[in-house]
Amino acid sequence: MPTIVLTNFNIVTAVLGGFITLFGLVSYLLKERFYLSEALISLLAGVAFSPHALNWIRPLEYAEGSQEHVEQITFYFSRLVLGVQLVIAGVQLPRRYLRTEWRSLAILLGPGMTMMWLTASLLVWAMVPHISFLHSLAVGACVTPTDPVLSNSIVKGKFADKNIPKKLQRIVIAESGANDGLGYPFLFLALYIIRYNGRDGFQGVGHGIGLWFGENWGYTIILSVAYGAIAGWLAKEALHYAEQHKFVDKESFLIFAIALALLITGTCGMIGSDDVLACFVAGNAFTWDDWFRVETEDDSLQPTIDMLLNISVFAWYGAVAPWAEFRTNDVIPIYRLIALGILILLFRRIPMVLLLHRQMKEIDDWKQALLIGFFGPIGVSAVFYLYVAVEFLNQIIVDGQVREDAARLQEVIRIVVWFLAISSIVVHGLSVPFGKFGYHMPRTISQALSSDSGQGQGQALDMRQLQEPTTFIRRRRNNQEPRTDPPTPTTFVLGQRRIGDDDEPSRPVKILNSSNPVSGTQTPNTAPQTSQQHLSQPPRQPKDN
């Protein structure tokens, strides 16, 4: 007898498939007409399906009732999405981009990230009660990198194509890809000092800084850059050879970059290196000669996989985010949390870009600097570094338990970083539609008021049309302001077509009358040379009855 089987697998696949199907039916309307990001829509859907609302997605049940397992799933899911995203980001850049634009990238990744880290840390220190500046440095490091997923709102789509120059799109892609992997040094400098701060005074701090230089910079950063460059170059050469000898089919060729991302993410995770940075470097090395990028420029497979991962991860974020803890916690009151979110969005990045934009040739003026400064969102990378920090802090053990200050820092990082990520997803997801609405609304009101005032002056408008026919016609045709030069006489031609100084007839026309229809005075002939044969003929006289 048929029965209804409501297992977790059936529910999750049905909910996720149904949401993606419904979203796909209106995706163009939402993304290209209303300029809503898929990250925001997916986050809201995740909240609706979570235990906080419909209870269709139950993360704790999937993780056997363990919150620690939920955090592990979130961490690995974020790693996967970042790995794929950063390889694709590297492939999207033109040939040898990192070498040709190294100066601007060095400014953004060096003094730029340092200023963002210190600014975010100072704001956290000021707004979170009873937190030391050293602990705030760890929290600020988690939200320092810009997110490559949320940056798509100004590097992809109709809005980006119309309003954002290509050079700005590329510098945003390059920066968001590189600084995701370079968040490790900022985070681990604070974590190493926290871990060894209580041991032997300055000797303990010195030991922590030594580990930071050796393990973090030497093993994690430099090794990941070398590994990503070698892996990307070897993959490019191998694919080039296979394609020349007809060894690879079209489907495998198109999916090759995604497979490379999975390979590097897994192998870097095995050796404990920086898989995020290695993926971005590998993507750049893979398309160093621009061959693969040009070959797949019109292909939609990579963007499709990218979209599926984005929708899935942000829906998961909506289901697992600590929504109740934002309001009731022992770390920070909700009003301080909201104020911190506003301050981070305003001051974490915008002042830095405004201060340094003159040294970057991609940014022409302060308006572009303000745009690039605002669109430095916090998202998947922040959640990734959140759980990197939590994993490290769990290893600070005293008498068989996590040290007290490390346990408190875990709670602070969870609440603050999750709230800042959610705030950025919402604000940056709505900024483009609100910006477009704010730009068009005053023009719409102005046009409506002009239309109302024009109806009351219809007679004066008609007289102006008769006195300046060419100006009126030009305004209607081009929808532009009238010229300030004196109006030129209008010549009447066959079919009552008017030829002004902007018209270029494509064939000879026959002149019927060259007098001004209003004043009746004779005007100079402005007809083309092709009609001069008609001017030599005397005007026809009317027959007498």
The topology under which CATH files domain 8-213+284-443 is: Na+/H+ antiporter like fold (1.20.1530)
> pLDDT band at residue 149, thresholds of 50, 70 and 90?
confident
> pLDDT band at residue 111, thresholds of 50, 70 and 90?
very high
Residue 273 is given by DSSP the state S
**Nearest residue to 385 via CA among 208, 187, 239, 220:** 187
Q: At what angle do helices 183-196 and 404-455 cross, to 10 degrees?
A: 150
CA distances 424 to 149, 150, 376, 379, 479, Å, are 12, 9, 9, 7, 40
Where exactly are the structural domains of the chain?
Answer: 8-213+284-443, 462-522
Q: Are 145 and 78 in contact (CB under 8 A)?
A: no
Residue 544 is predicted with a pLDDT of 46
Q: Which residues contact 308 (CB under 8 A, 6 or more apart)?
A: 20
**Nearest residue to 87 via CA among 294, 237, 272, 231:** 231
Structure tokens at 513: 């009358």
Element holding 498 (H helix, E strand): strand 498-499
End-to-end CA distance of the chain: 104
Whether 534 shows a pLDDT value over 90: the answer reads no
**Nearest residue to 44 via CA among 22, 28, 65:** 22
Q: Is 159 exposed, middle or buried (0-12, 13-18, 19+ CB in 10 A)?
A: middle
Residue 94 is given by DSSP the state P
Structure tokens at 202: 């300055």
**Nearest residue to 420 via CA among 123, 114, 179, 182:** 123
Q: Are 413 and 421 in contact (CB under 8 A)?
A: no
What is the DSSP pairing of strand 491-493 with strand 498-499?
antiparallel
CA distances 213 to 209, 371, 377, 393, 494, Å, are 6, 35, 29, 19, 85
Digit-coded pLDDT (tens) for 328-381: 998 999 999 999 999 999 999 999 999 999 999 889 999 999 989 998 899 999
Question: What is the mean predicted confidence (pLDDT) over 70-91?
Answer: 93
Digit-coded pLDDT (tens) for 2-18: 788 888 899 999 999 99
Q: What is the pTM of this model?
A: 0.79
Question: What is the mean predicted confidence (pLDDT) over 308-322?
Answer: 94
